Amino acid sequence: MVTMSEAKRFVGQVCSVSWRDREGVPVSAESRIHAVTYMPMYGPYLVLDMDDIRLDCVTDLRPLSEIRSAERPEASGVSDVRVAV
């Protein structure tokens, strides 16, 4: 579960969001996070481009920049780029 304070760090960023829907089926999407808000009687919500998701259903929340940099080998500081002079 993701807390409101954790989720607020990602406002304005495009993130990979994973959550469980009403039936408990895992769902994943990439979307911009517009806000983290509290809805009386429902609790904290994550406001995305495509939908609003209850924060207690979110299982994973990571910025795409973090995911993509981990996938690239040059992110480790080692690069095989050569420049002709």
> Which fold would CATH assign to domain 4-65?
SH3 type barrels. (2.30.30)
Q: Which residues contact 80 (CB under 8 A, 6 or more apart)?
A: 74
Categorize the per-residue pLDDT at 84 as very low, low, confident or very high, splitting at 50, 70 and 90. low
- Among the ranges given (1-5, 28-32, 64-68, 81-85), the one the predictor scored with the smallest mean pLDDT: 81-85
What's the helix, strand, coil split of the chain in %, to 5? 25, 40, 35
pLDDT tens by residue, 3-52:
999 999 999 999 999 999 999 999 999 999 999 999 999 999 999 998 89
pLDDT computed for residue 38 by the predictor: 95
Q: Is the pTM of this model over 0.75?
A: no
Domain boundaries, the chain: 4-65
